[in-house]
Amino acid sequence: MKQSVQEKLFETVKVGAWNLRTRTAMAPMTRCFADDQTGVVGPDVVEYYRKRAADGIGLIITEGTVISPQGKGNPGVPGLYSPEQITAWKNVTEAVHNEGGTIIAQIWHVGRLTHHELTGGLPPQAPSAIQAEGLVHRFRKPYDVPEEMSIEDIQEVVRQFAQAAKNARAAGFDGVEIHGAHGYLIDQFNSDLTNKRTDRYGGDFAQRLTFMKEVLTAVIDEIGADRTLIRFSLMKGGFSDNIMSNPEEAIRKFIEAFKEVGVKMVHPSTAMKDFRDVLADGKTLHQLVRKYWNDIIVGVGHLNPEIAEQAIKEGTIDIAAFGRPLIANPDFLHRIKNGEELIEYDVNKHLSTLV
């Protein structure tokens, strides 16, 4: 049996408030196995996360977990806004901690990417009343035209993000990741495709980051910068190929905003792109972020153990996040450490079951 040569990947490391067993993370992946009416997770979800903790994954980032009924964009997604949801998540966090793991909740609001039948009859919320093209994921109905958020609406959603972070800690989570990427609400404020506002939440790119900064400030004030991770992306409109026109300048503006509000940990997302894709100046997304950012970077983007090991050795990233391989292989780290073959992710099998 061939032994692993991924020495850096298996190092222990302190990241923020967390003492991680390895430099690995479970990337957040929408699974839709909560009760659709209540957003409450069950025993199958508990076991799903427990297995990954038992394997030695350093940081588990949950699937997107909505902060309000109006933030829901898929059937079966969990929430973190009701007492019943908090109680159910306690079973997950306890199971992960019993295995020696660390787990954070990805807190999420989909903005315009939903339908009133998913939000209890409420209209989608967005910076501007611009309808998204296509069909709601897994629901297969056209997106509704969203309501443009008032200042009061914006302030309420900022409060909901902070409350969700507080609820996450009450549920036993070690912190949160704020989902600021992939065309969801925070990203909708950041993008000129979806934000046509003329007040302080609109304007040039730096000004459009105002909503994101307010959410970050509120969450950090609630649980601390050492327990707060932010996921962001340069893909305008989510998973499209429409990358911001000047990637390096956009990254510089993002980093300025993060430093301004006291962020310590970032998770740049390549969306559906590869970790090694060059964006500008011969550098990848994560290399460009590292050029301006000296704190913690979680790397993601179709990583394999060899690419992840090299990126950590080079100092491009501190933590390597794996997605689909961890859905298909609950014993992912055991397999790579011992040179065992990985099970290929099968969309027909793994999308509809929890392994």
Q: What is the pLDDT of residues 191-203, one digit of tens each?
A: 999 999 999 999 9
Number of structural domains in the chain: 1
Asked whether residue 4 is assigned to any structural domain, the reply reads no
Evaluate if residue 238 carries a pLDDT over 90.
no
Q: How confident is the model at residue 137 (pLDDT cuts 50, 70, 90)?
A: confident
Asked whether residue 139 is assigned to any structural domain, the reply reads yes
pLDDT in tens, 317-347: 999 999 999 999 999 999 999 999 999 988 8
Higher pLDDT, 56 or 353: 56
Asked whether residue 300 is assigned to any structural domain, the reply reads yes
Taking a C-beta distance cutoff of 8 angstroms, is the pair 229, 267 a contact?
yes
Mean pLDDT across 175-186 = 96
Query: 131 lies in which domain range?
Result: 13-350
Furthest CA-CA distance within the chain: 62
Asked whether residue 271 is assigned to any structural domain, the reply reads yes
Q: How confident is the model at residue 1 (pLDDT cuts 50, 70, 90)?
A: very low
**HEC profile for the chain?**
CCCCCCCCCCCCEEECCEEECCCEEECCCCCCCCCCCCCCCCHHHHHHHHHHHHCCCCEEEEEEEECCHHHCCCCCCCECCCHHHHHHHHHHHHHHHHCCCCEEEEEECCCCCCCCCCCCCCCCEECCCCCCCCECCCCCCECCCCEECCHHHHHHHHHHHHHHHHHHHHCCCCCEEEECCCCCHHHHHHCCCCCCCCCCCCCCHHHHCHHHHHHHHHHHHHHCHHHEEEEEECECCCCCCCECCCHHHHHHHHHHHHHHHCCCEEEEECCCCCCCCEEECCEEHHHHHHHHCCCEEEECCCCCHHHHHHHHHHCCCCEEEECHHHHHCCCHHHHHHCCCCCCCCCHHHHCCCCC
Taking a C-beta distance cutoff of 8 angstroms, is the pair 203, 128 a contact?
no
The reported pLDDT for the residue numbered 288 is 96
Evaluate if residue 243 carries a pLDDT over 90.
no
Asked whether residue 68 is assigned to any structural domain, the reply reads yes
Query: Could you tell me the CATH number of the domain that includes residue 66?
Result: 3.20.20.70
Taking a C-beta distance cutoff of 8 angstroms, is the pair 60, 102 a contact?
yes
Mean pLDDT across 246-268 = 96
Asked whether residue 45 is assigned to any structural domain, the reply reads yes
Residue type (1 letter), 274: D
Q: What percent of the chain has pLDDT over 70?
A: 96
Q: Considering the entire predicted model, what is its pTM?
A: 0.96
Catalytic one of 49, 81, 184, 201:
184
Evaluate if residue 240 carries a pLDDT over 60.
no
Mean pLDDT across 60-68 = 98
Please confirm, yes or no, whether 292 is among the known catalytic residues.
no
Asked whether residue 6 is assigned to any structural domain, the reply reads no
Whole-angstrom CA distances from 30 to 73, 78, 121, 137, 354 are: 11, 10, 23, 10, 12
The reported pLDDT for the residue numbered 6 is 79
Evaluate if residue 348 carries a pLDDT over 80.
no
What is the chain's alpha carbon radius of gyration, rounded to the nearest angstrom? Answer: 19
Mean pLDDT across 236-245 = 63
Mean pLDDT across 141-159 = 97
The reported pLDDT for the residue numbered 90 is 98
pLDDT in tens, 261-304: 999 999 999 876 789 988 889 999 999 999 999 999 999 999 99
The reported pLDDT for the residue numbered 347 is 81
Evaluate if residue 100 carries a pLDDT over 80.
yes
Evaluate if residue 3 carries a pLDDT over 90.
no
Asked whether residue 133 is assigned to any structural domain, the reply reads yes
Cβ count within 10 A of residue 138:
14
Evaluate if residue 353 carries a pLDDT over 60.
yes
